[in-house]
Amino acid sequence: MGKIKVKDGTEIYYKDWGTGQPIVFHHGWPLSGDDWDAQMMFFLAQGFRVIAHDRRGHGRSSQTAEGHDMDTYAADVAELTKALDLKDAIHIGHSTGGGEVIRYVAKHGKGRVAKAVLVSAVTPLMVQTQDNPDGIPMSVFDEIRVGTSTNRQQYFQDFTMAFYGYNREGANVSQGIRDNWWRQGMTGAIKAHYDCIKAFSETDFTEDLKNVDVPVLILHGEDDQIVPFELTAVKAAKLVKNGKLITYPGFPHGMPTTEAATINRDLLAFIKEE
């Protein structure tokens, strides 16, 4: 575990365990590198070097007032990968982290990245626009902004229900998973979480997806209530040059946690493909 200081003085916290080919995990909003516990342990046991950082303003990284946009997030990752001298790396991003992965790989990853994985990712574009008419109305993201800025403590508690599909009939609700999501969220800065809503909803990753040359695996749950798979995964798979799409009936947005065995199996298979 350690921290690096990036160009603007922000400290980025990271965990770095093991040896072998590096896998870098990029977390979703409003969480931290701890959201990858199930994957970190699994791939460490498989002989990989596993790294997970806390995005600026999130988790244990500096609670900066500025820089909560995808270009800065990707630049922070570039500084981290350079500091750790990561080469032949696999970058795996969940939700907002998927956007971070594809922006980093497209802009900074040349010569350092072997493969990329987008899990329940926000790519290519979430918000409804004239060019993206089937996107999610801005009013939905405005509601997230209001909940985050005025009632974060309770809003984050409530958000876990749809995030993990715990609002579905017959769901096996884990209070520990819900509490851990809330813990991660409340550790981060409210300003960072507020600003990140714009970053994950309004950033257009179309050109990033088109410009990535490495193999890309796209995994998405078909019952994702946070990031609908037809709006994101299906479109993203058509934009990448060398992509593979796997969707899972009934799986929720938070499937790396609730369906870790399945997700880890498919991640490992992709990583081992020649």
- Pairwise CA distance, residues 162 & 170, whole Å: 14
For residue 91, indicate whether it is catalytic. no
* CA nearest neighbour of 127 among 22, 24, 202: 202
- Pairwise CA distance, residues 139 & 207, whole Å: 26
Task: At 271, list the tokens.
Answer: 């990583």
For residue 88, indicate whether it is catalytic. no
The answer to whether the Cα torsion of 60, 66, 69, 70 is positive or negative is: negative
Identified catalytic residue from 32, 62, 95, 201? 95
- Pairwise CA distance, residues 189 & 212, whole Å: 32
For residue 201, indicate whether it is catalytic. no
Encoded amino acid at 126, one letter? M
Identified catalytic residue from 26, 53, 94, 253? 253
Encoded amino acid at 62, one letter? S
Are 250 and 222 in contact by the 8 Å Cβ rule? The answer is yes
CA distances 23 to 34, 112, 188, 204, Å, are 15, 12, 24, 25
> What does the angle CA 198 – CA 151 – CA 146 come to, to the nearest 5 degrees?
35
Residues marked active site are found at 95, 224, 253
